[in-house]
Amino acid sequence: MKFRHFTILSVKSDIIDLSGPAQSTVKFGTSTGSGSRLTYYWGITVTPHKRVLSYPFPPGEGFLYFRSRPGLPAGTGEIRFRLVEADSPSDSATDLFVRGRDLLEHRGHMPWRLHMLHIYTSKEYRPLLSLLLQQGLITQGQIRDAVKRTTQDRMVLKHYSTILHTISDTFVIRLPMRTNRMTFIHDECIAPSVQAGQELFWRATHGSEPVEGSNVSSRAYEGEVYAPFPLPARVQFAHLDSSFPGYAALRFELKKVERIKDFYNVKEGQVVLVLRVVQLFDPVGPDGVPFSLPEGGDFVQGQAAGRYWCMPLDRALKFGILTPSSLRILEELYLGDSASTKSAAMGSSP
């Protein structure tokens, strides 16, 4: 199996079907071992005992391909799966790729991916790493830099930790979120599984007036109760209980405090790190009434009642959420003269 930067391989024989068992096994290149296991999704059971289980890929044929963005530090990049349908025997691999679509992860809002950090840090994917090197998609220097960055602190990547290629990227999490774990790839270092917020939620408020269609003036965003896939008998997943949360796209921003009452334990004029909700993926609540974000989005709220979540910059630097380079990125986007124009256009595309 071969890979191309932002494209697929040149032969249609590389079309595969990953569906079937809980973990699919793929042989890369000329490896003679049993193959590397690919997992679609890790779920946590709550009954009868808390366990971590892998969930199988949905049906569909396609290509595995390598995707990266130029100018980012070592450790970035990912493998995606492109779903295709061969309409004619004469269709080229490129034609199939252009007409195809990326397989989405289980939540249905972002492409499924196998991140390069997992490939660099797991013996499971050494054949894939060798193939990427052989194809010229990565270099020995990138491998050395990435391995050095991932092993200097004995990095442990949690499967539930969201990985950000750069601090300005948009990412998807569920709300409410008790503990938001994220892995940050900076120019200076990689900060794995950092706690980047607790008790995060978003509440739609309408002052003293009730929400249209509801008898309350504010409601916490939780989304609609649904199950994205059939559950095995006697197995219930923690995130599919009666209070199933809603998914939202968020991004980190810098905010200069203008009103102290909007935040907790801050000073007027202080610059803090905040989280902005830019899109709701489950806009209809369990009561059937839709949620509506203000124009331009809204900030995530935190533990302090009625206050937005924020973090002082010195703490964000201490915990590895920010570094000098990533702080400069946010300063340019949100504190510079042209910040409003740049921030409107920024964020990564899926």
- pLDDT tens-digit profile of 173-198? 988 888 899 999 999 988 888 899 98
Closest CA to 21 of 4, 38, 34: 38
User: Residue 3 pLDDT > 50, yes or no?
Assistant: no
Find the mean pLDDT for residues 297-306: 85
The answer to whether residue 138 scores a pLDDT higher than 60 is: yes
- Could you tell me which of 308, 201, 198 has the C-alpha nearest to residue 264? 308
- The token pair at 324 is 């000098």
What pLDDT does residue 238 have? 40
Instruction: Quote the distance between the C-alpha of residue 67 and its chain's center.
Output: 15
Of the two residues 287 and 5, the one the predictor is more confident about is: 287
Tokens 């130029």 belong to 70
Q: Mean pLDDT, to the nearest integer, of 202-213?
A: 64
- CA distances from residue 113 to 28, 51, 88, 95 in whole angstroms, order as listed: 17, 23, 28, 22
**Mean pLDDT score of the chain, rounded to an integer?**
79
**Beta-ladder partners of 36:** 26
**CA nearest neighbour of 199 among 219, 181, 182, 179:** 179
Please state the rounded mean pLDDT for residues 308-330. 96
Task: Report angle CA 118, 120, 124 to the nearest 5 degrees.
Answer: 70
Mean local confidence (pLDDT), 154-162:
69
**Sequence-separated contacts (24+) of 78-86 with Cβ below 8 Å:** 78/113, 78/114, 78/115, 78/116, 79/3, 79/113, 79/114, 79/116, 79/119, 79/128, 80/111, 80/112, 80/113, 81/18, 81/57, 81/112, 82/8, 84/15, 85/61, 86/12, 86/15
Question: Which two structure tokens, joined as six digits, stand for 304?
Answer: 């302090």
Least trusted range by pLDDT, from 55-59, 219-223, 308-312, 339-343: 339-343
Decide if 61 contacts 15 (C-beta within 8 A).
yes
Mean pLDDT of 304-322: 91
3-class secondary-structure state, position 321: coil
Taking residues 271-285, what's their average pLDDT?
A: 92
pLDDT confidence of residue 216: 60
Least confident of 7-16, 316-325, 333-342: 7-16
